[in-house]
Structure 1
Amino acid sequence: MRQGKDALLASAISGSILAGIFLPQAGMVVGPYLLVWLGALLFLNLLKLSPKDLAGTFSRPGPLAALAVVKLVALPLAMYAIAYFLYRPFALPVLLLSGISTGLGAPFVVSIVGGRLPLIVGMITVTSLAVPFVLPSLVHALVGSEFDLPLADMVVLLLLALFIPLGAGWLTKKYAPSTSRFADENSFVLSLVFVVLINMGMFATLSEYFFTEQLFVLQTLAASSLAYAAFAVAGYACSPFGERTAGLISMTYVNNTLVMVFAAQFFGPQVAALAAIYNLPYYAGILLLKKIIGR
């Protein structure tokens, strides 16, 4: 059963990415609704979050607060500085990717890889509440002199994209328990549907680059893979002993689809490309972590 799920996951991921690249017309049909598919994926995975686990996490706020500060402030500042001095065109994309919140898809990763959920639940909650205010402020402080940034518009986009799924998830659990149970019991297959739609839409926008700007694609893939590795090391090193796998997942499995929409709207497609191509190490990392942690 587990092997069948792994094969289905690998097939869905690789097939949807290839479909987006080689059949961009199909991807363009679903692409305008990326925030809808993302919201649905976030909603499904929010149903896994237990209020009891959440309360337990906040009963010991010190480790959670420290990890959240690393995630939203220290890590993006460090990654921006490194990218700025090594290869400046990637500085802003790296800042956006590293400064976004822990993804509500992280519990989906835990269901495949393993690990303790409470720390991830806390990181999702804290970073989702804080990122609409922290990330636009960081961007404005670091690159505001180079762009005409509508700070209020950035805050509103992040608030809507994160808080609507959060609110819908809690309301469904409270007022429609049968719907909540159905979604929870079928969350793997339903999540794969939205993962496929997200991948097709994201990679359709990048299809032309794969055929005309292969060097840019390779550079972006290398940068996204290094970013994934850096996030993983930071999450593992900064987490409490016994929760390091959860810390690693909370730092690496982020709302990169939201970053792509955010970046494309305010900075253009080339800035958004890093967040889209981050899906490659994102999903490859799931399979790698499963082997390492299982071993």
Structure 2
Amino acid sequence: MFRKNDFILLLVIFSAMGVGIGLPEFGRVFIPYPLYMMMFLLFFSFLKIDFLQVFHDIRKKAFILFILCLFKLCVIPVGLFFLTQAIWPEYSGISTGVVAPFISGLLEASTLLVLMMVVVSSLLIPFSLPALVSLLVGQTIEISFLMMMKVLAMVIFLPAVAAIFLRYLFPSLLEKLEGVQFPVSLFLFAFINLGVFAKYSSFFIEAPMKVAETILIAFVLSVLYHGVGFLVTWGMKREDQLAGAISFAYMNNVLIVAFSSQFFGPLSPALAALYMLPFFTMIVPARIVGHFMK
């Protein structure tokens, strides 16, 4: 269950986190670039996707897409808000930051369903998030739909279009690029973590108890997201159940860090950054659960 690539991935990820916190001056070089690195990560993920099949299947997946989006954007944030308000009031304003997932190939999930969730949930966020914040905490935040569409176009649609053109214009390159996907992804993940953790290194060093508490909450949230994803898709195909769990548990942390830092104090982006820990370490347990679904 624990593969060699899993060990290499975890080693690179945690080493980059440590360097980002311990040597922030080195890591700050990468602070402006995580979004661009995510574009390359998504580009490699999209190389394996036949987008004609996506358009063909979207009507078949309409109902499960609606259910997943309802839970991802409304039910889970509201439930977690009241839960954290009762247990950890300091964190009760954070749980609405649930954005798009992009890891599915590692767990052999339904990549098509995950891709659909990426696009649909990202389009709905500018409407659902301000409404929830206003309803739950009585605060008003404004998310420019045009700004969100610009980010969405840059981070998701641009890599998708590039992958489509490559598939049809230079199909011979697909296999070569897929062959280097893992080592290139390792470098990209390392650079992303260097930039994210260097930015908040002072918080991690000066408040170790708060960091430990935040790590605990990050793992609890990850387990809850996985569990709800499996339950919502109960009775469906194994690939769709894994896709449901991935859609909830593997979110776009870099966008969450960038967004939450504009509206909240260091605790919100710190939780999003520290979610990197369960983000990667939960891959193996999720694969084990998926194995028993066969």
What TM-score comes out, normalization by structure 1 length?
Answer: 0.86
The structure 2 residue matched to 1:255, chosen from 252, 256, 268, is 252
Once residues 58 and 185 of structure 1 are traced to their aligned partners in structure 2, the CA distance between those partners, rounded to angstroms, is 32
The structure 1 residue matched to 2:156, chosen from 166, 175, 187, is 166
Match of 1:18 in 2: 18
Match of 1:56 in 2: 57
Deviation of 1:119 after TM superposition, in Å, equals 2.3
The code of the aligned residue for 1:247 comes to G
Contact 1:30 1:201 in 2 (8 A): yes
Aligned runs of 1:167-206 on 2, under 5 Å?
A: 167-177=157-167, 178=170, 181=174, 182-206=176-200
Q: Which runs of 5 or more residues in structure 2 are unaligned?
A: none
Secondary structure of 1:198's counterpart equals helix
Contact 2:13 2:193 in 1 (8 A): yes
Contact 1:46 1:166 in 2 (8 A): no
The code of the aligned residue for 1:201 comes to G
Aligned runs of 1:26-41 on 2, under 5 Å?
A: 26-41=26-41
Secondary structure of 2:13's counterpart equals helix
Once residues 143 and 272 of structure 2 are traced to their aligned partners in structure 1, the CA distance between those partners, rounded to angstroms, is 22
In terms of mean alpha carbon deviation, does 4-13 or 249-258 score higher? 4-13
Deviation of 1:115 after TM superposition, in Å, equals 2.6
Does residue 217 of the first structure (1) align with residue 207 of the second (2)?
no
Once residues 40 and 217 of structure 2 are traced to their aligned partners in structure 1, the CA distance between those partners, rounded to angstroms, is 29
Change (3 A) 1:183 1:140: farther
Match of 2:83 in 1: 82
Change (3 A) 1:184 1:78: same
Contact 2:232 2:244 in 1 (8 A): yes
Identity within the alignment, %: 25
Once residues 187 and 240 of structure 1 are traced to their aligned partners in structure 2, the CA distance between those partners, rounded to angstroms, is 32
Aligned runs of 1:49-198 on 2, under 5 Å?
A: 49-54=49-54, 55-96=56-97, 99-101=98-100, 103-104=101-102, 106-107=103-104, 111-145=105-139, 149=141, 151-153=142-144, 155-177=145-167, 178=170, 181=174, 182-198=176-192
In terms of mean alpha carbon deviation, does 72-81 or 2-11 score higher? 2-11
Cα displacement string for residues 4-50 of structure 1 (whole angstroms, at most 9, x for unaligned residues): 42332122112111111211111111012222222332333233332
Once residues 149 and 133 of structure 2 are traced to their aligned partners in structure 1, the CA distance between those partners, rounded to angstroms, is 16
Q: Which runs of 5 or more residues in structure 1 are unaligned?
A: none
Once residues 185 and 49 of structure 2 are traced to their aligned partners in structure 1, the CA distance between those partners, rounded to angstroms, is 15
Determine which structure has the larger helix proportion and give its number.
1
Secondary structure of 2:242's counterpart equals helix
Number of matched pairs: 283
Contact 1:261 1:272 in 2 (8 A): yes
Contact 1:94 1:274 in 2 (8 A): no
Q: Tell me the C-alpha RMSD between the 2 structures.
A: 2.3
